[in-house]
Structure 1
Amino acid sequence: MRSQGINGPSYRFLHGNNQEILNIKKSAEERAMEGFDLDVCPKVKLVYWNGPKPELVTTNLEILKEVISDKDENFPKDDVEGYLRILLGDGLVVSRGEKWAKMRKLANHVFHGESLRDMTPAMVECVEVMLERWKPYGGKEIEVFEEFKHLTSDIISRTAFGSNYIEGKDIFQMSKKLTSIIARNAHKIQLPFFK
């Protein structure tokens, strides 16, 4: 990567740069954001060592487009194991080759303009329900982060499963817990047979 002009921490035996990443995350969580700027994408670049294998995390749109439309498999996907495999299942994110192409075609249909237009009334209804919940707050501040997570879950429930967030609440909460466990352990050293 250095020969291509990409600098970052060197590899360290056994744990790569996991400890540095954990320290960076901890430091970022402890500090309040100063001079809030929505344009964070150019700043998010990181060399990450996955064991002895270097990986580059980038938000460069041209590179991301190239990776996502990789028909020649120049950018192979890592094998997904453990709890992450349980969370993601055997879907589009982890599949490869012919299965990936088939699933991508199915996913494209869902996001086609006509399909999205059919979902619009359900999305509008979800937003109206959220705004109705906000009425008692009047001109007071509210924490919108949780509200928008709730809205997203409600829209997914209604458009994909024909129910609402309340009916699927347990599933969303279990998914949230599993995601939290996976994120918490993502940068910890894992030795074969001792995970």
Structure 2
Amino acid sequence: MTKYLVPLFLLYSSVAIFLAQAARPGLVGGTFFRGTDLHLAMTATSQAHAAADFTERLFSLPPYHLSPVYGYADDQFQALTRHIRSPDSRYIVLRRNSSPWTFVLSPWTVRRPGSQVWDKSLLFLQVWRGGVITPLGYAVVKDGIPEGHSREFWETLGRAARTTQAELYRRFEIHRIVTPVIN
């Protein structure tokens, strides 16, 4: 069943990006256009939601167990970079088919600007052939045992995240962290 989820996620992401691009009235195809801040935020959030939905299906979680969902924003770059470069970070590398990138999850704790609370969260990453990591966003992991599970999902993530930072860097020859480019 898992072999069908990755292509389904790729299809879902492509459709979400297409719909976000189609929502920009008055643009001529092929014309370079920097999207408005609202457009960029909506597209980033759409990609993060696609990743969260895929993850919920993959782990048989109830809908919205990973929520709220936040798309990548530039103010996250320093925290993301620190997490990705930390030797203590762990990753769940999902199988890649014929895609030029691999979907990777990483449990992390994050504090949103203006908040004193640290949220248990799940970071969504694309690891591209050629050694580039692109963050998609993250979702907060709800506390409690999800319906149909025997332990908290945060604990499940801890057990599933077996790939170390060194292994990830070696396996994919990581040399850059690149922020998403949203057309």
Aligning the two structures, in what range does the TM-score lie when normalised by the shorter sequence?
Answer: under 0.3
Q: Which has the higher helix share?
A: 1
TM-score by length of 1: 0.24
Higher relative contact order (CA 8 A, sep 6+): 2
